[in-house]
């Protein structure tokens, strides 16, 4: 029988937001890594807030092998404009992540502005 547990994002200290400090697609800020257990599924809920004085485009790389290089394929890339000082904006609405069989699967982020976007969220972890 499957078990469900609500856990913090892997890079979140005590449930606090992760600040996206990267301004480069080549070295984005890691937001969450799945476990390496083959029978574990992570349902990811991710929100973003913008402390800058203008709107900022968030670029997310979603679901790639944490041991490999950052994806370049559009299929793994999400773009969303985060409105200035509008509170939390939902950017990942419960999408599922699983590992690749040996390495964690990763979600990472960057913006051209850097250090103004906070990413908040949680994972519903499902284990078989």
pLDDT score recorded for residue 102: 86
- Cα separation of 85 and 33, whole Å? 28
pLDDT score recorded for residue 70: 85
pLDDT score recorded for residue 57: 98
The mean pLDDT value for 40-58 works out to: 97
Q: To the nearest whole percent, how much of the chain has pLDDT over 70?
A: 100
Pairing of strands 105-110, 3-8: unpaired
pLDDT band (50, 70, 90) for residue 68: confident
Contact criterion met (CB below 8 Å) for 121 and 6 = no
Per DSSP, what are the bridge partners of residue 5?
A: 125
Mean pLDDT value across the chain: 94
pLDDT score recorded for residue 19: 97
* Burial class, 108, CB count within 10 angstroms (exposed 0-12 / middle 13-18 / buried 19+): buried
């Amino acid at each position: 029988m499957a078990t469900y547990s609500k856990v913090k994002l892997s890079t979140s200290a005590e449930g606090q937001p992760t600040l996206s400090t990267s301004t480069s697609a080549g070295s984005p800020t890691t937001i969450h890594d799945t476990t390496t257990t083959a029978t574990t599924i992570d349902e990811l809920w991710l929100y973003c807030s913008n402390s800058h004085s203008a709107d900022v485009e968030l670029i997310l790389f979603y679901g790639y092998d944490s041991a490999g290089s950052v994806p370049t394929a559009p299929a793994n890339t999400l773009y969303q404009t985060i409105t200035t000082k509008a509170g939390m904006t939902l950017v990942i609405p419960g999408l599922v992540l699983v590992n690749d069989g040996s390495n964690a699967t990763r979600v990472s982020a960057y913006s051209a502005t850097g250090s103004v976007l906070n990413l908040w969220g949680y994972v519903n972890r499902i284990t078989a």
